[in-house]
């Protein structure tokens, strides 16, 4: 019996990474799965949908993202009037940042939990052992109220100088690609680059001082 990707417990099911809901039906070829125990395969479908909805709304993404938003994400919003209302009430025009762009407030801790979950699963899939590090999720697509980067966003920009050197992997590149790079001498010190819909990137950075993992 395989061990869970997050702990030493025996697996009882499999976890998709990224979640299956991120992929249009016709782009679910060879999806990545990892073994998961009951504790670490809790029903997080609502959180997964929330993050997918936010990502597919980005104006930087490709046509696959746009189509998936209107096919799936929009329906998800229609089933969640509270979430739709919260976004509508916080909606602001930020055309000074990009033409026709809008911004809204999001639940960043909830968002990051899903992104870290994906990262832990990808690490296990590639290396065959649990990623024993606390992780920071950095991106240039989530901004402060004045549309500047937060401190993690600034770190993302620093790390992204040589993106052309990365050899991205992914069976469904229009939806998701990723690459690991060495980030230190310990086996856990890897950095992970993830790209959703060709326009929403992340760097996942491990805390070298930690020796544990966490979705929280």
pLDDT tens for 35-63 read 999 888 877 889 999 999 999 999 999 99
Average pLDDT, integer, range 15-24: 96
Q: What is the mean pLDDT of the chain?
A: 91
pLDDT computed for residue 97 by the predictor: 83
Q: Where are the domains of the chain?
A: 13-206
66 confidence band (pLDDT: 50, 70, 90)? very high
130 confidence band (pLDDT: 50, 70, 90)? very high
Instruction: Determine the distance from the C-alpha atom of residue 174 to the mean position of all C-alpha atoms in its chain, rounded to a whole number.
Output: 15
Please give the DSSP secondary-structure letter assigned to residue 175. T
pLDDT at 152 over 90: no
Q: Check residues 165 and 5 and name the one with the higher pLDDT.
A: 5
pLDDT computed for residue 84 by the predictor: 86
Tokens representing 4 are 């869970």
Count of CA atoms in the C-beta half-sphere (13 A) of 204: 27
pLDDT computed for residue 23 by the predictor: 98
pLDDT, one tens digit per residue, over 165-197 is 889 999 999 999 999 999 888 999 999 999 999
DSSP per-residue codes, 110-149:
HHHHHHHHHHHHHHHHHHSS---S-EEEE-SSS--TTS--
pLDDT, one tens digit per residue, over 78-119 is 888 888 888 889 999 988 888 888 899 999 999 999 999 999
pTM: 0.93
Please tell me the chain's helix, strand, coil percentages from 3-state DSSP, rounded to the nearest 5.
40, 20, 45
């Amino acid at each position: 019996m395989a061990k869970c990707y997050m702990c030493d417990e025996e697996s009882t099911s499999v976890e998709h990474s990224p979640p299956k809901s991120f992929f249009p039906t016709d782009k679910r070829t060879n999806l990545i799965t990892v073994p998961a125990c009951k504790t670490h395969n809790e029903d997080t479908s609502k959180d997964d949908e929330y993050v997918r909805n936010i990502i597919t709304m980005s104006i930087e993404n490709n046509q696959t993202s746009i189509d998936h938003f209107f096919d799936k994400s929009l329906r998800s919003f229609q089933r969640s009037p509270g979430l739709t209302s919260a976004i509508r009430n916080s909606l602001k025009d930020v055309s000074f940042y990009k033409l026709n762009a809008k911004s809204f407030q999001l639940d960043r801790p909830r968002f990051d939990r899903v992104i870290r979950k994906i990262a832990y699963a990808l690490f296990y899939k590639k290396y065959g052992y649990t990623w024993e590090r606390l992780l920071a999720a950095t991106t240039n697509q989530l901004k402060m109220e004045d549309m500047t980067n937060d401190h993690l966003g600034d770190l993302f920009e620093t790390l992204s100088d040589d993106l052309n050197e990365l050899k991205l992997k992914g069976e469904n590149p229009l939806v998701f690609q990723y690459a690991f790079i060495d980030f230190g001498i310990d086996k856990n010190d890897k950095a992970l680059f993830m790209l959703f819909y060709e326009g929403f990137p992340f760097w996942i950075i491990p805390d070298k001082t930690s020796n544990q993992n966490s979705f929280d």
